[in-house]
Each structure stands twice: as structure tokens, then as C-alpha cells.
Amino acid sequence: MRKCSFALLFVALLVVLSMGTAFAAEDVIKIGTLFPLTGPCALAGQRCQAAVETAVEVINNAHPEINVPGAAAEGVLGGKKFVLVHADHQGKPDVAKSEAERLIDQEGVYAIIGSYNSSCTKPASFVAERKQKLFMCGCSSSAALTKRDLNRFFRLAPTDETESLEFVEFIKYLNETKSAGIETVGLIYENTEFGKHAAEEGKAAAEAAGLKVVADVAFNPGATNLNSEVQTLKAADPDAVFGACLGGDYTLWVRTMKQMDWLPDVALNYCTGYQDPIIAKQLEADGDFFMGGTGYSPEFAELMPAVAAVEKIYMTKTDPSVPFDSDCIQEAIATLILAQAMEMAGTTDYDAVLKVLHETQFDSPMSLGGKVVFAPGGQNLKAMSILTQLQGGSYKRIYPLDLADTEPVVPMVAWGSR
Amino acid sequence: MVTFLQVALDGILSGLLYALIAAGLSLIWGVMDVINFAHGEFLMVAMYLSYWLGFLWKVDPLISWIASGVFAFLVGALTYKLIIRHTIGKSAMAALLATFGLSMFLKNVCLYVFSPNFRILNDTFLGGKTFSVGGVIFSLPQLATSLFSLCVVALVYLLIKKTRLGWAIQATAMDKEAAELMGINTEWIYVLVFGLGGACVGIAGGLLPSYLATFPDVGGLFSLLAFVCVAMGGFGSIPGALFAAILIGLVEAFSGFYVAPVFKYVAVFGLYLVVVFWRPRGLFGW
């Protein structure tokens, strides 16, 4: 009799627990994050993850002080909370693929947000498409990602193609108004999916504008030195250089140019180490006068006032505490847009949410463009960046002219004169 | 001609740095037949020590290399005592996998403690300083690192070849049992060798922050190149490692400049394959 009572109690307990889980499951929406949390791009990956966590905090809790759609409410669809499941792809495409499969098959996530490296976003988003899940991509910049006609892939950031066209347009402006005399271009880029695509786009844009590409320098990321690379650039002596060097490679590139006492007139960078405020600070005066496309910087506060309150939360999640950068803010926006789409669809049903994502113009006060509209293939048509130049360690807006707050310093000040 | 000389100089300076990293590895490999997979992480840990000494107390890498060398010596000796000792006499894979585990441990500990941030030391005594001879630019931080490298490698070589301790190390490497019968404390020799191996890479790590960013993954390619230097130079041969390292530095620089930068490691590892195929024991192997 006693045994029987225990058995009944045990069964009852299991039933209660499983019901609890079932109820809990209905109240949460699992979202997978997939970033390089270890490996050479770990710094950027961890910041991207912190940005998604920040967005989820805004979505899950009532924040009436934040001027972002959905921030005032608690959760989505009447109180459902986002729960994050984190995964690390280490910067390796094969790991990204298997981790995307794990997130979908084993963790049962509703959507994946990621994956920073274009080379990892590519296979991971294929997995999501095959398994009919959403993939929200914040900052992977390879233009090829949105030329695959995927139906469930959405990318927020501008592409390398957009940035390359901006670079060339800026050079034209310099030549026409400042008699800069820029006629030749050199490319230096890491030999990865991101770097190669950026270089291809840069080359195409430069040649289309009548600029001559005189150096095409690919290097292996994480190299012990960049002496041959910079020596090759120096020998070709291009007037302008388009750079796609991430993290530690960016600092090595800058310092090797200093060591070799060489600089082009203009150095324009894709989304790279240039945008990392910590690297910019650490390089001190050596980092000055480099330029690049920037989607966000604290110096843009007057253009994007809604960011400040969200940024406060983000800064509590990073160590050392740093503001948003151009890359990670896009991951936060991707998460917020997903929540907005669910709210507009009024359901978590995939087809309904997908329809909203494809057909809606979203308000996005955290985006430089202010709005988000996805083209077929998933590219955000309203994505934009501003060309900035580091001057005195500060990102100064230099182009387009209507958004500029400072005159560009061209040619760059020589190493010996700083 | 100036460009040619500049490329040659860059190659030699890079090669001398590789030689210092490879010397420690060669010593451990030659004496104990152990492949230390954590060698690159020893370098990384030493770089962090030098970086923090510089960042917190403004100790210049020109001085902090001593602390990094001593610290890496202790890390090496402890590694032997706590890990490698238990793998001696077992399959060669045991030590290899143990050091692989150690490398993962060290890398992830640093990732956790220091975060993946790229840490750059500014305002070092030699930082960014150069001088020019006939148009060829000498970078002082790299030149200093190379001169240190030459001195340390020469000292290690003299220690092995000219001192009683060195003879004991050589005897242990040749025949451990016979060395013990001659009264050599081989256990102590192993601790010392692992410590010395660590110290060599530690000194390199102490000097590197004067021109290279410190981050958890910084040791990866350095350790791979050090393996190639040791295998090309001949297992256990310090002059072999030095020669191979300079050769690798030159091949890297010339192929990088005259063929294509992206080709430089293809040339380095291609050369390695040719040497290993032609002389499996390496250029100066026993």
C-alpha cells in the first residue's frame, strides 16, 4: 500500500512537472545565437552576443524610457519572453553548420541570430533555410549572402558592395573638390570569405570609376607579421588603400606601415578593426586619419538619440564596458526587428511572421537609416553607413556631406609629423 | 636593391624570432621526445605577463622579458611535474594529447580571465622607433628581439655543449637508463629541460608586446612555425633550429613579396615537406 502511494505520488509529481514545462514552453520563445565566442574573432563575437542579450532585455522587460518599438511592453504577444540559447562557431564554417543544426534540432530554437563571419553565416543560414527556420543576420557584410534567393534569411547591415560604392564616391568627391589626385587603389584583405568578397567589390567599384587597382594583397588572418604585405603595398604606392583587416591584424597592419614609414593618401576600411573603439583607443595617435564606413559610433548620438538608453544596458554586459560599435548594434537591431515582426503578425506562426518580414517597413530608431525594409533575398534596403575618419581618437563624420560634422584630413598626416 | 635588402632584413629578423621560440621546443623534443603542443600558449601566457607588467606598472618589455622568462620556466617545470611525468614510458600519443589538453586549458583560461580583447602596449622604450641605413629601415623593437634571440640561442647552445649540465642533458637524451647508472638525476634533468624550453619561449613572449598585440590566440601560428623549424632543423639540434628558422623567415619574406603575400606560408610549408621528404631527420638531425 505504501509502495503504491509512493508510486502514485511520483507519477503525480511527474505530471505536474511536465505540465509546468508545457506551460513554461508556451510562454517562452527560444532564440539561438551563433557567434565566434572563441578563436581570433572572439572579441567581436562576444560583443555581438552581448548586443543580442541587451535587445532581449529590452524586449522581455517593460522599458517605457526606451524609444524603440515594443520596449514599453513586457515580452511579445502579450507576455511571451525570449530565451536565448548561445552557440560558439569559433570562426569555423563547419562548426557553424553543425551548431546551427544542433540549435534547431536539439534545442528547438525558433530562429537563429548571427553569425558575424560571413563564411560562417553562409552555411548556418543554409541549414536554417533547409529546416525552414528564420535566420536574422546583423552584420555579416558579404554581398553574396543576400544574392542566394533565400526566403528566410534577413540581413540588417550594409554590404561590402554598398561600402565600396561609398568609398569610390568619396574619392570622386575628394578629386573634384579638393584636387586630391587619387588615381590608384591598393587592396589589402584577409584571405577569407569576408575579405575576398570585400576586395572583389572594392576592385569592381574602383575600376568602374576609372581608378587603377595597382596592388591586390591577400593575407592569412592571424599572421605573425605583415611585412611582405605592407612592403608590396609600399612598392606599388597606391594613392588610396581599401582595407579589410579584422582585430589584431588591423593593429599589425597599422604598426607595420608605421615601421615601414609609408602611408597612402587615403586608407578606407570595411567593417574591420577600424570600427573597434578599444583598438582605436589603444592605437592612440597611430590610429588617426584612417577612415571607414561606420554604421554607429557614440559620436552619432545626435543622429540616433534612441540608442543611448539601450547602450546603457549594453555597457553593463561588456567587460571592459564599451559602447555599441557598427557591427554589434546590428545584431541588437536584428533581434528587435524579429520581435516587432512577431508582434505585427500577432502570432509565432512562421508563415505569418515571414510575410510580415518580407512586406513591412519597420521603424528602427536604432538604425542609421531609421527604417528597415527587406528586399527579396533578405537585404535591408535602408541600410546605410557614414564615412568617418579617426581624428584625435574620435570618429568624425566626413561623408556624405549632409551628415558630415568635420572636414576630412587628406592626405593622411605622415608618421613623422604626428 | 634597397627593396631586396629590406625584404631580406625583414626575413632574417622574423627568422631570429622564430629561432628563439623553436629553440625551447627543440630542446624538449630532442631530450625527452615529447611534442609540447602547448608551446604557443606558453608564448601567449608570457606575452600577457609582459603586457600587464607594462600596462599596470609601466615596466618596459626590455626589462619584463626577465619576469616572463622566469615565469615561463616555472610554467614549464610545473607542466613536467604535474602532467608530462605521468606520461613518460607510455605511448607517445599520451604526452602529445596531454599537452594538447594543456594548450586548450591555457587558451581558454586566458580567454575567460582576460577576454578576447587585443591588448596593445604603447609608450614602450623602443616602440615604433626605426633607423635607416642606406634606405633600409631597421625596426628597433624587432631588431632588439632578434639580438636577444641570437644571444639566448647561443647561450642555450653553449650550455648544452660546453657545461657538465649540458653533457648530462645530452646523456639523458641519448640513453636515460645509462645516464642514471652514471649518477645523473634524470628526473631533475627533465624538469630543467622543460623549464628551459619554457624560458626560451617566455623570453620571446616577454619582448613581443613591444610590437605585437596580445590576445588568447596569438601563439597558434608561432608554435606551428616553431614545429616546422625544429623538424626542418633536426630534432634536438639548436643550430639546426636556428638555421631552419632563418631560412623560413627568408622564404616567407621573399615569397611573400616576390610571388604573393598569400603564398608565403605555402612556400614555407612546401619547403618543409621537401626537406622532410629528402632528409626525414632534418638538416642537422642526429
Find the mean pLDDT for residues A253-273: 91
Task: Kindly write down the DSSP assignment for every residue of A46-84, as one continuous string.
Answer: HHHHHHHHHHHHHHHS--TTS-STTTTSSSBTTTBEEEE
User: Is the pLDDT score of A7 beyond 60?
Assistant: no
Backbone angles phi, psi at B121, to 5 degrees: -90, 120
pLDDT tens-digit map of B10-63:
999 999 999 999 999 988 888 888 888 999 999 999 999 999 999 999 999 999
Query: Given B7, B117, B217, which is nearest A231 (Cβ)?
Result: B7
A274/A250 Cα distance (integer angstroms): 7
Find the mean pLDDT for residues B155-172: 92
Backbone angles phi, psi at A48, to 5 degrees: -60, -40
Query: Given B115, B130, B256, which is nearest A229 (Cβ)?
Result: B256
Q: Is B253's CB within 8 Å of A43's CB?
A: no
A90/B217 Cα distance (integer angstroms): 11
- Using alpha carbons, select from A283, A263, A278, A299 the residue that is nearest to residue A387: A299
Q: Residue A38: its chain B contacts at CB < 8 A? A: 107-108, 111, 116, 216
Query: Given A229, A248, A259, which is nearest B118 (Cβ)?
Result: A248
Q: Is B215 on the interface with A (CB under 8 A)?
A: yes
Predicted confidence at residue B95, as pLDDT, reads 87
pLDDT tens-digit map of A288-306:
999 999 888 888 888 899 9
Question: CB–CB of A385/A182 below 8 Å?
Answer: no
| % residues pLDDT > 70 (chain A) | 94
Q: Is B135 on the interface with A (CB under 8 A)?
A: no
Predicted confidence at residue A5, as pLDDT, reads 53
Report which DSSP code applies to A158: P
Q: Is B116's CB within 8 Å of A259's CB?
A: no
Q: What cell was used for A34?
A: 551563433
Question: CB–CB of B47/B218 below 8 Å?
Answer: yes
A132/A111 Cα distance (integer angstroms): 10
pLDDT tens-digit map of A151-201:
999 999 999 888 999 999 999 999 999 999 999 999 999 988 889 989 999
- Other CB atoms within 10 Å distance of the CB of residue B281: 14
Domains of chain A, first to last: 8-157+327-373 (3.40.50.2300), 161-299+385-417 (3.40.50.2300)
pLDDT tens-digit map of B54-99:
999 999 999 999 999 999 999 999 999 999 999 887 887 888 899 9
Predicted confidence at residue A26, as pLDDT, reads 57
What kind and span of H or E run contains A118?
A: helix A118-130
Find the mean pLDDT for residues B183-190: 93
Q: Is A43's CB within 8 Å of B116's CB?
A: yes
User: Which 78-117 residues of chain B touch chain A by CB within 8 A?
Assistant: 107-108, 111, 115-117
Reported as a pLDDT band with limits 50, 70 and 90, residue A4 is very low
A108/B22 Cα distance (integer angstroms): 48
B194/B48 Cα distance (integer angstroms): 20
| Alpha-carbon gap: A328 to the closest alpha carbon of chain B (Å) | 15
What is the 3-class SS of B148-216, one letter each residue?
HHHHHHHHHHHHHHHCHHHHHHHHHHHCHHHHHHCCCCHHHHHHHHHHHHHHHHHHHHHHHHHCCCECC
Predicted confidence at residue A295, as pLDDT, reads 87
Predicted confidence at residue B129, as pLDDT, reads 86
Q: Give me the torsion for CA of B3, B9, B13, B19, rounded to 10°.
A: 120
Predicted confidence at residue B273, as pLDDT, reads 93
Predicted confidence at residue B29, as pLDDT, reads 86
- Tell me which of A165-169, A319-323, B104-108 is least confident: A319-323
Q: Residue B222: its chain A contacts at CB < 8 A? A: 224
The total number of residues shown for chain A amounts to 418
Nearest residue of A to residue B10, measured between CA atoms: A227
Q: What cell was used for A180?
A: 586630391
Predicted confidence at residue A375, as pLDDT, reads 95
User: Which 235-254 residues of chain B touch chain A by CB within 8 A?
Assistant: 252-253
pLDDT tens-digit map of A366-416:
999 899 999 999 999 999 889 999 999 899 999 999 999 999 999 999 998
User: Is the pLDDT score of A69 beyond 60?
Assistant: yes
Q: Is A21 on the interface with B (CB under 8 A)?
A: no
CATH number of B2-278: 1.10.3470
Nearest residue of A to residue B142, measured between CA atoms: A259
